Structures are given as structure tokens and as C-alpha cells.
A and B are shown apart, each in its own frame.
Chain A
Amino acid sequence: DGGITQSPKYLFRKEGQNVTLSCEQNLNHDAMYWYRQDPGQGLRLIYYSQIVNDFQKGDIAEGYSVSREKKESFPLTVTSAQKNPTAFYLCASSFTRTEQFFGPGTRLTVL
């Protein structure tokens, strides 16, 4: 089946820890995106990548980092510099200027 997957579904982080969220797609999409969603809110763009080995900051990139070494993969690291990381994280992919396909999300909680 073609699709986009995220893991883990739930993630718990202690203060001062870095954690990495996985995002994989087999849709042959060029572009991939990371969004953050807080309760009752819309999605805010963290990072996006339009091609392998290239990525750009979104609206709320501080405290996050990404890599794009393979077309299929776009992992997101939440660093200790992100002071309020508790949120629902959504990964998406697309061909350019078309609809985006979303993964099921990772819910991150800081203990």
C-alpha cells in the first residue's frame, strides 16, 4: 500500500532531552513537511523540504531540526531548546502545488 507513516504514535520526553520523530513516505513525492498542532488550533509549519538534501524553515522552526538524506524520509528532531514541545506533530508529503497527504501523527508529551 502507498502511504505516509509516522512513528511512534505517542512519545514522552523528559526535560532537556532531544527526541526524533520519524516520517516515511512511499508515494514518490518530492516535497515533505512538518506541522505542529496545538489543541483547538490549526496547523503551523515547522520545516519543509522540496528536494533531497534541501530544506527550509517554516514559521516556527526554533528548537527543531530536520534532515532529508533520502526522498522517502524526513525525520524531525525536537531539541531541548524547544521550551514548549508538547503538541501533536503531523508530517505530510506532496507533489508540488497539489494536495498534501498526511501521516497519522505523533503526540509528544513532556514529562
Chain B
Amino acid sequence: SQQGEEDPQALSIQEGENATMNCSYKTSINNLQWYRQNSGRGLVHLILIRSNEREKHSGRLRVTLDTSKKSSSLLITASRAADTASYFCATGGSKTNSNSGYALNFGKGTSLLVTP
């Protein structure tokens, strides 16, 4: 079942602006991951944050995790047209989701459009 839920569903910004996407989930997790998908392509892993971490950086990406609120955010700074894609959060290793082993639960994604 889909556990993560991204917000907003769609986001349109201009190059150079920052883009913030949020993810909420329902059950306890071992880690939360963010993926990117260009139209009609496979997903590409961006960043993984563990349940005992609060913030993580990777290049222009910053991810935060608040386990008390069961939420995460992905910030893309100084966005570029090439950042146009759908972004998904995925939760894994839920202690209550033993049916899926190490498989991930994905949200429906945020569609980001960056215009020049």
C-alpha cells in the first residue's frame, strides 16, 4: 500500500529559485528515500535519510526528517531546467509492513517544472 504522500502534487518555478517538496507517511520507518523520475524513464535514487538522522545534504539537495511528525522535506536549491521531473518519497523497512520485506512504499510524487 502507498504510505508516503507528497505535497504539492505539482510545482512550477523559475530557474534559480528553490523548490521544496514535502512527504508525509503513516507508520514507523527505518529510512526514507527520495527518488527522481524523468518522463517515461526509470527512477533514480537521490538521497537516503535514516530514522535517527534529522538532516542530510547532497550537492544542491537538502533533506530533513521529522519522525515525531512523520514527515520529510526535499529542498532543491538554485534550480535548473534540467531538474524538471517527478520526485517521489519512499519509505522502507516498516516494522508493521512485514509483508514487503525490504521493498519500498512510494507516494504519488510531486511534478516539478522549472522554466528558464
Contact = CB atoms under 8 A, between A and B. Distances in A.
Contacts of A94: 102
A57 B98 CA distance: 12
Interface of A: 6, 31, 33, 35, 40-45, 48, 50, 56-59, 88, 90, 92, 94, 96-105, 107
Nearest to B5: A42
A42 B108 contact: yes
Q: Which interface class (under 10, 10 to 19, 20 to 34, 35 or more) fits B?
A: 20 to 34
Contacts of A33: 103-104
Contacts of B102: 31, 48, 50, 94, 96-97
14 contacts: A31-B102, A42-B88, A42-B109, A43-B104, A44-B2, A48-B101, A90-B43, A94-B102, A97-B31, A98-B48, A100-B33, A100-B45, A100-B104, A104-B41
A105 B42 contact: yes
B42 to A, nearest CB: 4
Nearest to A59: B1
Contacts of A98: 48
A102 B44 contact: yes
A105 B38 CA distance: 12
Contacts of A105: 40-42
A45 B92 contact: no
A58 B103 contact: yes
Contact of A50 (B31, B45, B99, B101): B101
Given A43-B88, A102-B42, 5 more contacts: A48-B101, A56-B99, A58-B103, A98-B48, A100-B45
A98 B105 CA distance: 13
Contact of B101 (A43, A56, A102, A107): A56
Nearest to A45: B103
Given A90-B42, A99-B33, A42 B48 contact: no
B58 to A, nearest CB: 12
